[in-house]
Amino acid sequence: MKEALHQLFIEFQNSIQKNDFVKLTLSKPIRKSDDLSNVYVRQITLKGDVCFQFLYRYKTNDQTKNYSFEESVEELTNLLSENFRAATLFTLTNDLLVFISKKKKVSYKTTQPSFKNKLPETHDKPKEKRAENSEYLYHLGVTDKGGKVIPKMADKYRQINKYLEIIEAQIQSVKLPNHINIVDMGSGKGYLTFALYDYLVNQKGYTASVTGIELRESLVNYCNDIAKKCGFKGLLFVAQPIQEYDNDKIDILIALHACDTATDDAIYKGLVSKAELIICAPCCHKQIRQQVKGKEQESPLLKYGIFKERQFEMVTDTIRALILEKHQYNTKVFEFISNEHTRKNVMLIGAKSSKKVDSERIGAKISELKSAYQIDQHYLETLL
């Protein structure tokens, strides 16, 4: 493969020598199931030396690594052999398009340059702010009248932007109707609910209705008042328990920090409505803990308080993820935001898939897990 890509690497090297290299991108993943969707390469100066920063864009996060030119060639060879079918080398002279067939045949096409100027070579690329200069941030107390983030709300502002980054990636991974029905169960004060509506409808141009379900009527009135002030016509907050919500037209189900079994009630609503996306950030995990009372001494992992708490969280959310898999959802569990900002930082996402699953095998995994921890029943199972 390295020989077949020789022209790409020669043009890459020449563009650097002529100082007209802009960037290099990899696209068209070989396997649609891969989390890695793109790789972007740019030239940077690090401690006075020229090197190349690879930005690996996964569905849920971005990762960066820096390489020398020789290391970059090796990494590009590996990526184009195993992960991608296309590459584009952007220079100020022209664009070089590289196509790789299923049989690993490489073809090239040269087109007019897309860029007239080079990219900055600073090491730290400023992060895109998806929630910025929005009126709702002022009304919710995140920013002042001038649009500056209030210092004590900085963590919440980071959380909002990270959340929108995750949502954006997930929406691109599923098929959604022209009008998207989104339900946020346990919306609370609505920070993330407002952010999602504003970003999708006002910034990205989606046609969407967003409903926030919240038990506390005072918060519902507060949020509906702000939605009215901001002119968010497709955003509505309703005061009712999650269990009583009966609209089965849900395309995206969101439940962030719904306490204990309320997360399961929300997941159940998403499964029944066959939502394309189910996005949860579980909280509390009391139900499994109550079943294991009196059995702690039988397992060393349940002997110490801090480990016991983590075990309950892991077992509860693993069973939830397996149940989603059993119902034909591709599942992911990952850190939503750093521990330094909040302990409630695990996100569980299920994306509807058309692939057939081995329900019996997944069911056996759930049974084994329950048996190992002497769990009688997971609450979500009883709902189903």
Name the DSSP class of 244.
Answer: G
Could you tell me which of 159, 182, 347 has the C-alpha nearest to residue 263?
A: 347
Cα-to-chain-centroid distance, residue 33: 15
3-state helix, strand, coil in the chain (%, to 5): 40, 30, 35
Q: How far apart are CA 161 and CA 11, in angstroms?
A: 38
Q: Is 133 helix (H, G, I), strand (E, B) or coil?
A: coil
Tokens at 245, concatenated = 């919500």
Select the CATH number that applies to the domain covering 135-382 from these four: 3.40.109.10, 3.40.50.1580, 3.30.470.20, 3.40.50.150: 3.40.50.150
C-alpha span between 384 and 379 (Å, rounded): 9
Tokens found for residue 96: 């070089």
Give the bridge partners for 36, in sequence order.
Answer: 58
For the chain, the straight-line distance linking the first and the last C-alpha, in angstroms and rounded, comes to: 50
Q: CA-CA distance, 36 to 62, in Å (whole number)?
A: 9
Distance CA 42, CA 243 (A): 50
pTM (two decimals):
0.64
For 51, 56, 73, 382, the CA distances from 46, given in Å and listed in that order, are: 7, 19, 19, 56
Task: Locate the domains of the chain by residue range.
Answer: 2-111, 135-382
d(CA 295, CA 33): 40
Alpha carbons 265 and 278: distance in angstroms, whole number? 12
Give dist(CA 186, CA 267) in Å, integer: 12
Give which of 277, 275, 298 is closest to 375, Cα–Cα: 298
Alpha helices (H) along the chain? 6-17, 69-82, 135-139, 154-171, 191-197, 217-230, 262-272, 287-291, 305-326, 359-372, 379-383
Work out whether strand 49-58 and strand 36-46 pair parallel, antiparallel, or are unpaired: antiparallel
pLDDT given for residue 86 in this prediction: 93
Q: Residue 84's pLDDT is what?
A: 93
Which pLDDT score, from 0 to 100, does residue 122 have? Answer: 55
d(CA 66, CA 54): 6
- The pLDDT value given to residue 194: 95
Q: What integer pLDDT is reported at residue 9 of this predicted model? A: 93
Q: Which residues contact 195 (CB under 8 A, 6 or more apart)?
A: 130, 131, 134, 136, 160, 163, 164
pLDDT by residue, tens only, the chain of 384 residues: 778 899 999 999 999 999 999 999 999 999 877 788 899 999 988 777 889 999 998 877 788 899 999 999 999 999 999 999 999 999 999 999 999 998 889 999 999 988 888 776 555 555 566 776 689 999 999 998 888 889 899 888 888 988 898 888 888 888 889 999 999 998 999 999 999 999 999 988 899 999 999 999 999 999 999 999 999 999 999 999 888 888 778 999 998 877 767 888 889 999 999 999 999 988 766 666 666 554 554 566 666 666 667 777 888 888 889 999 999 999 988 877 544 444 557 888 999 988 888 889 999 998 888 888 778 888 788 888
What is the per-residue pLDDT for 341? 42
Q: Which pLDDT belongs to residue 83?
A: 92
Residue 44, CA distances (Å) to 11, 17, 61, 224 in order: 18, 14, 21, 47
